[in-house]
Amino acid sequence: MEAIKRFFSFERLSAKFCGAAFLALGAALLAFPKEVQEATLSSVIYCLTVLVPSLFPFMALTSFAVTSGAGIALSRVLGFLSRYVFRLPKVCTASLLMSFLGGYPAGARGVSLLWKQGSITREQAGRMMLFCVNPGIAFVVTFLGGTVLGSFSAGWLLFLSVTAAGILLGVFTGLFAKFPEEKFVPVPAVPGGAVIRSAVDACSGILKMSACVVLFSGFTAILHGSGLYQFFVKLLSGPGPFSQPEAAAALSFFIEVTGGVGDAAKFQVSPLFYAFGLAFAGLCVHLQVFSFFEEFPVSKCKFFLFRFLHGFLAAGIYSLLSRVFPSAVNTAVLSGSPVAISGGLSATVAGALSLLLLCSAFLLLLGRDCETRQTVIK
């Protein structure tokens, strides 16, 4: 009996599953080398032309706000919003702003730094991760609205819908929470050290995100090449309310948000799919979020539940706003056309590579930690 229990133990089953997955993926790479190569190249170009330029500044700014004490100055002005709207410590103000403005991983990185720093509790970090996963302005308004849909107004409408849904979820999670106690937080005595650490931290975060995007693009290529993707599309569009193009866009959004944007533009589906997909964020973003934590502060089942709630709520808000501003929706429908998500190779690639090389150089300059002093938010 003990031998059977050991054989079916979680550790052994997990190891067996990982081994089987490794063999299956290895066989798939040998079976579809061209598809994986093309998808990987496309995702690398996307990371260099879109992801790095749009997210790196926000990642660095979030890290700087938490590690330098700049967030404390901001919290003295806007901290009442964090405390009375979300029932979170005032020190969370900068991370909250970055989570709604900077893009998906910026909020997660800020939360992980605050928790590691001891400025917030596990419960507070867990609550924040239920609503601090949002797309940034640069991606939604500039890239999706201006480039994909051909309408900045449509981009703003989508951004406001997803952001409003996130804020409502944040208010809901804090309804039954007590008003937090303000803790002492460490503030570096020399801001210059925080600048270097922020750049290094942002570089590390960008590399993790880019690795996830490239990994999922290869995985999606394998799904397409093996026919599994088409199988799931037919499965979703069979008895359900979706047409095949809508099912394809929904499945792409579920896997990876940029792929969802590309398929939604290709098949010209309803903007409601964009609203849901942007709020849900996709499994690729979820893995990016998890990578910032040694131990995730909230149940992953609860996290996924709130991702779906965020998606449905964002779609509902977008439906209401589209009735108030119908011109933005009509412009997007008329202007939207299939686009290449990967973008073009231009000077932006050189700029992105320069940023990565600059951050690598910062690693060599990073010396001993700055001396800290204790301060309290009043």
pLDDT tens for residues 38-53?
777 888 887 888 777 7
pLDDT at 341: 45
User: Confidence class of residue 28 from pLDDT cuts 50, 70 and 90?
Assistant: low
pLDDT at 16: 55
Partners of 376 in beta bridges: 184
pLDDT tens readout for residues 223-252: 777 777 788 888 888 776 778 888 888 988
Report the distance separating Cα 125 and Cα 108, nearest Å. 9
Report the distance separating Cα 363 and Cα 366, nearest Å. 5
pLDDT, the chain, mean: 76
Specify whether the CB–CB gap between 286 and 307 falls below 8 A: yes
- Which residue from 99, 74, 79 is spatially nearest to 89, judged by alpha carbons? 79
Instruction: Evaluate if residue 201 carries a pLDDT over 50.
Output: yes
Q: For the chain, what percent of residues have pLDDT higher than 90?
A: 21
Which pTM value belongs to this model? 0.75
Q: Which residues contact 92 (CB under 8 A, 6 or more apart)?
A: 75, 82, 86, 114, 119, 120, 124, 128
Q: For the chain, what percent of residues have pLDDT higher than 70?
A: 72
Higher pLDDT, 278 or 138: 278
pLDDT tens readout for residues 116-160: 888 899 999 999 999 999 998 878 888 888 878 888 888 999 999
pLDDT tens readout for residues 60-87: 777 776 666 666 677 777 888 888 999 9
Instruction: Evaluate if residue 110 carries a pLDDT over 60.
Output: yes
Q: What is the mean pLDDT of residues 295-308?
A: 94
Question: Which residue spans within the chain are E strands per DSSP?
Answer: 184-188, 372-376
User: Confidence class of residue 299 from pLDDT cuts 50, 70 and 90?
Assistant: very high
Using the Cα atoms of residue 342, residue 343, residue 349 and residue 355 in order, give the sign of their dihedral. Answer: negative
